[in-house]
Amino acid sequence: MKRLLGGVTVPYGGCHVIHFAYRLGTSVAGTFYSESDAAPGVSMNNEIRLGIVIKPQSTLVDLWAQAIKAWPTRRFLGAKAWVRGQLGYIWSTYESIEQEASSMRTLLKQMGIEKGGRVVVVSENRYEWVVVHIATLQLGAQLVVLPTNITPKEAKQVLKSTQARVLFVESISAYGAVKGWVGEVGQLEHIICFEDQVGEASYAVAINLAADVPEKPPARKDITSEDTAMIMFTAGTTGPPRGVMLSHKNLVANISSIYAHLGEALTHTDMFMSLCSWCVAGALTAELYQAICKGACICIPPEQVEGFQDLPLVQPSVIVTVAQPFQRAYANIVDNIMNRGALTKDLTRFTLGRITENRLMMQKPGSILRTASDILLGKFKAQFGSELRMAVIIGSQLTRDQMELFADLDIFTVSTYGCLEVGGLIATDLDVPLRLKALPGIEIRVVNDKNEIITPGSVGEILVEAPHAMQGYFDVHIDPEEAKNSLVAYGGRTFVRTGDYGSMTGGWLTIKGNKDVLITLQNGAVVDPVEVESTLVKSPFIRQIFVYGQDRPYLSALVVPNAKAIAVHLRKVERRDGVPIVSEREKADCIRAELRRVSQGLPARSHVRRFAFIEECTLANGFITCKYGFARQKVESHYIHYFNAMYDETPKFFGHAVDDYDDLF
């Protein structure tokens, strides 16, 4: 049984309407619908509304208040759950989330959270995350958002520095690791666990107790656009996470820029699927608040990357995601095509070529081509669902051939470029694929080492001036001189250093890489490892690859092989436990051949010469960030003995050589 705040009714099993009085489990305050059902009794209005009004002086609290007033009964958040043997989504309306947020305000108020106070949250996307987010802002407090790959040592340092009284964590295991911190770390007094249902830290128990309080504190009226709304921490790609202070004005300005750019492509009938963590500012402003501004709904799968498999089940129309699921889907599609019979393979490649030609010439495909597409490509289209029309990619971008393949499958991918210090997204390629253009209200400059603007097409550091640029760094992990140098003044205007290199030509931005990530070889050649990795991982036999080579004569790599794909390719049998029987030598030979094949389009300096196998990098072991990129500094320090051994120039070097067969393990 489930308690639904505000007396919301539940159609249970499609037959009876039941009023619940108590909530257990992980249900969302709202209504249950199976995937195939429309939300009954919800007035969506026949006309398509343009959305709420965003004013320069608006706060995030104002945007939410407008949404509650405009469409209280629309579906907002959905979480996957089993109900009486049916797999479906527990849906909350905008109104029911506001009612639960009012209970959360009561709870936080009793915990001593006032205006200017700080609440820390470490969690993947959940409906509880949204409730805490809204309630904290309505009290005028600051939400401190930490990436989920943060280490306990780093989390302790943040709690001490922020002097936060309340900490929200997602899992019971995470709670077990931090429950001893109360009274010991900074001013921490309370820890609440989202997944705990009946224990001492249970979110469900706490929110139900708060719901029974008759008088709940209203949202404050004295919140201004200049007040700090959130302290968000970087993903930790090149070092320890750094805190960035963002005001209501910063975040609303970025929401407004995206709204002006993408708004016409979105309607209140859209269903978003959340596949990128909201601890990434670009995902927060491009997904959560775009849905709020349009009155759309968001489906939150239990696991972000694994949730990609739920696309046919959910049938979303828009997804905001990291690149990794699409990169893996591309590799699987290519592997499937290459393993087809000779005739079928040729027909598939011919069909893709004709579809690409028609798309570029803006011609409608004929009936024969459509039939061939359904027969040969229908299997691939089905894995994305029939409603998906747009995917907004956050973080690492797809390559041209990847984007073109998905376009041939009727999926429009939008590349984005963003930076936490600038409050979210900076540019997208919505107008022209793979050509980034600044969002409205943003000015981009490319400068040399002396901060002088360089000629169009030349490579330099990217500076950004925007109304949503950060208030400043929080004082964790930040050298004062580094914080001072992060801003560049031009007269009365201030630009923020992004730390990325790129070029500008005719208003179009090209990204070359992050200056803290770029590899400089012994001969002075500069290599972008992210670009090399995104090219090599297109191989269906490579699950993950990490490239290294700073001050070395050539590149080496750590490889996580796709053992099952290799086994299928080699026609190997599997053991009873499903693990394919593939020897180390066979895996090495297969990866060696693949590295040669997929590296053909790369310059010689970007070729990997030696590689070694490692276990998969995950969020759990801390080697993957919340944007599903590598935590490069952590990976390098952990596997430094591997790298040193791979560069041993004797015949007994560690790992495998790409260019010869003199491997000695």
pLDDT of residue 1: 30
Q: Quickly list DSSP for 553-592.
A: SSEEEEEEE-HHHHHHHHT--B-TTS-B---HHHHHHHHH
pLDDT of residue 104: 95
Cβ(465)–Cβ(494) below 8 Å: yes
Distance of CA 536 to the CA centre of its chain: 21
pLDDT of residue 386: 87
Cβ(84)–Cβ(112) below 8 Å: no
CA 288, CA 258: separation in Å to the nearest integer? Answer: 12
What residues pair up with 608 in beta bridges, in sequence order? 555
CA 138, CA 117: separation in Å to the nearest integer? Answer: 12
Length of the chain: 665
The fold for domain 519-657 equals: GMP Synthetase; Chain A, domain 3 (3.30.300)
Q: Quickly list DSSP for 129-172.
A: HHHHHHHHHHTT-EEEE--TT--HHHHHHHHHHHT-SEEEESSH
- Stated pTM of the model: 0.80
Average pLDDT per consecutive 10 residues, the chain (665 residues; last block may be shorter): 32 31 31 36 42 82 92 90 77 94 94 93 93 96 90 88 92 90 91 90 91 90 93 75 88 90 85 91 92 92 78 90 88 85 88 82 82 87 89 87 88 89 87 82 87 86 83 69 71 81 87 83 87 89 93 93 84 57 84 90 90 89 83 90 84 71 41
Cβ(318)–Cβ(389) below 8 Å: yes
Write down the domain spans for the chain. Answer: 519-657
pLDDT of residue 614: 92
What residues pair up with 86 in beta bridges, in sequence order? 83
Which backbone phi and psi does 414 adopt, to 5 degrees? -110, 115
